[in-house]
């Protein structure tokens, strides 16, 4: 039986010379198990997590089966940094990271002594793929007078080239702090998020021109029309979306921040402009509220993502079971050169130290009413 569906995925690949090409990779999407298979797979995974002293951490965008399974087994569903921090502090010696590759790398950066496994090694991120370390390093060399600030959605090698890594609501505070110190910023990789930070802080920033294939597809006119059809709805937008979409938002924030806004707003309906994998947790936490997907470019075969990351979709119960069955063989295990790992940890530690000094967390926060917090994917 064919258990995967292979699709082509296009993403933007900028260069240090402001030239942007379109590249194509393949994503293998697992077939949905039937209910009996689903229960059998979950039972086997639960047993192996105990037997192998492993813990499952899942991102908000992966399949609901993996989100539920992580929480049922004492793991975590969260954003990339919280996944990595949870894994670092957990007693398990093996971390299974259901998400995309940079999330596995983030976990390994914080937990070098642990085995970090991913269900699918080819599950990537368009922001990460579109910002290769060698090209990014050239870009940095062209701007030696700038402080390098990178978003969490980057490889360990790109983080190793940075002065700061930022996530969540701390991004605005850090860039404002650097501006107050007279620093000029080099930002990577997402141009929409970078432009948002620049507008909010007024900082002097040059930017890598990457984009998330999911958030880049949300459409302004269609969203405005949907708002008219649902006048009581609040619009929740991830800041990797285009500026025109952000301007229609009642709240802008990370995955964690969007969850908080949905809980805090006294509204019956919400239009959500982020990966539709978030709908599971939003509906789970707010059973009496209605959540509507924001419109994207194209439909079905004519859209790049249809509001769901194809790489996140590569995570499933079958490949999660397989990676657990092959523990000890090196299968789908994340390895990072120790020099790169140690250097990549520095900008993360700098962010965490800053957050502690100003009394905030690096996890998602949100401001509403066109004052907005940002955060990790």
Residue 154 Cα distances to 74, 110, 168, 365, angstroms = 27, 15, 15, 21
Pick the CATH number of 32-125+310-325 from 1.10.150.170, 3.40.50.10800, 3.30.1480.10, 3.30.1490.20: 3.40.50.10800
How many Cα atoms are found within 13 Å in the side-chain-facing hemisphere of 209? 11
Cα–Cα distance for residue pair 58/80, rounded to 1 Å: 9
Among residues 204, 209, 274, which one has the least CA distance to residue 239?
Answer: 274
Amino acid 62: pLDDT? 96
Say which residue, 358 or 306, is predicted with more confidence.
Answer: 358
Which residues are CB-contacts of 215 (< 8 A; sequence separation ≥ 6)? 192, 238, 240, 241, 242, 273, 274
- Distance, CA of 174 to CA of 180 (rounded, Å): 10
The whole-angstrom separation of Cα 42 and Cα 40 is 5
| Backbone dihedral angles phi then psi of residue 152, each to the nearest 5 degrees | -60, -25
Q: Domain 131-212+338-358 class?
A: alpha beta
Token pair of 232, please? Answer: 């009581």
User: Looking at residue 361, what is its pLDDT?
Assistant: 64
Phi, psi of 142 (to 5 degrees): -75, -15
Q: What is the pLDDT of residues 250-303, one digit of tens each?
A: 999 988 899 999 999 999 999 999 999 999 999 999 999 999 999 987 544 444
Name the superfamily (CATH) of residues 215-308.
NadA-like (3.40.50.10800)
Quote the distance between the C-alpha of residue 54 and its chain's center. 23
Q: What pLDDT, in 10s, does the model give residues 43-101?
A: 999 999 999 999 999 999 999 999 999 999 999 999 888 999 999 999 999 999 999 99
Q: What is the 3-state secondary structure (H, E, C) of the chain?
A: CCCEEEEEEEEEEECCCCCEEEEEEEEEEECCCCHHHHHHHHHHHHHHHHHCCEEEEEECCCCHHHHHHHHHCCCEEECHHHHHHHHHHCCCCEEEEECCHHHHHHHHHHCCCCEEECCCCCCCCHHHHCCCHHHHHHHHHCCCCCEEEEECCCCHHHHHCCCEEECCCHHHHHHHHHHHCCCCEEEECEHHHHHHHHHHHCCCEEECCECCCCHHHECHHHHHHHHHHCCCCEEEECCCCCHHHHCCCCEECCHHHHHHHHHHCCCCEEEEECCCCHHHHHHHHCCCCEEEECCECCCHHHCCCCCCCCCHHHCCHHHHHHHHHCCCCCCCECCCCHHHHHHHHHHHHHHHHHHHHHCCCCCCCCEECCCCCCCCC
pTM of the model: 0.88
The residue written with tokens 């971390």 in the block is 95
Task: Delimit the CATH 3.40.50.10800 region(s) of the chain.
Answer: 32-125+310-325, 131-212+338-358, 215-308
Place 347 in a pLDDT band, splitting at 50, 70 and 90.
Answer: very high
How much is the average pLDDT of 192-208?
95
The pLDDT of residue 377 is: 42
């Amino acid at each position: 039986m064919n258990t995967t569906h292979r699709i082509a995925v296009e993403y933007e690949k900028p260069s240090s010379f402001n030239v942007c090409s379109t590249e194509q990779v393949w994503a293998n999407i697992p077939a949905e198990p039937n209910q009996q298979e689903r229960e059998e797979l979950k039972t086997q995974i639960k047993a192996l997590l105990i037997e192998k002293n492993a813990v499952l951490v899942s991102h908000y965008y992966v399949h609901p089966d993996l989100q539920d399974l992580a929480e049922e087994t004492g793991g975590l569903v969260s954003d990339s940094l919280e996944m990595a921090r949870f894994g670092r502090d957990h007693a398990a010696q093996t971390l299974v990271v259901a998400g995309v590759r940079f999330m596995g790398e983030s976990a390994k950066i914080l937990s070098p002594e642990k085995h970090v496994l991913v269900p699918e090694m080819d599950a990537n991120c368009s922001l990460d793929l579109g910002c290769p370390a060698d090209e990014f390093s050239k870009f940095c060399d062209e701007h030696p007078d700038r402080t390098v600030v990178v978003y969490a959605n980057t490889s360990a090698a790109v983080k190793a080239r940075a002065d700061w890594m930022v996530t969540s609501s701390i991004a605005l505070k850090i860039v404002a702090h650097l501006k107050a110190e007279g620093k000029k910023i080099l930002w990577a990789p997402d141009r929409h998020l970078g432009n948002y930070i620049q507008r909010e802080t007024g900082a002097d920033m040059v930017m890598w021109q990457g984009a998330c294939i999911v958030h880049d597809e949300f459409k302004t006119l269609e969203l405005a029309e949907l708002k008219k059809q649902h006048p009581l709805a609040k619009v929740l937008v991830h800041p990797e979306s285009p500026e025109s979409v952000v301007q229609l938002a009642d709240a802008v924030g990370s995955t964690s921040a969007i969850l908080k806004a949905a809980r805090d707003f006294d509204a019956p309906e919400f239009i959500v402009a982020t990966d539709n994998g978030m709908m599971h947790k939003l509906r789970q936490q707010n059973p009496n509220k209605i959540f509507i997907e924001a419109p994207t470019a194209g439909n079905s075969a004519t859209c790049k993502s249809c509001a769901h990351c194809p790489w996140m979709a590569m995570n499933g119960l079958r490949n999660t079971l397989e990676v657990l069955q092959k523990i000890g063989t090196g299968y789908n295990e994340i390895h990072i050169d120790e020099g790169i790992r140690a250097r990549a940890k520095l900008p993360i530690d700098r962010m965490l130290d800053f957050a502690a000094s100003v009394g905030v967390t690096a996890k998602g926060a949100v401001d509403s009413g066109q004052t907005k917090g940002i955060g990790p994917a």
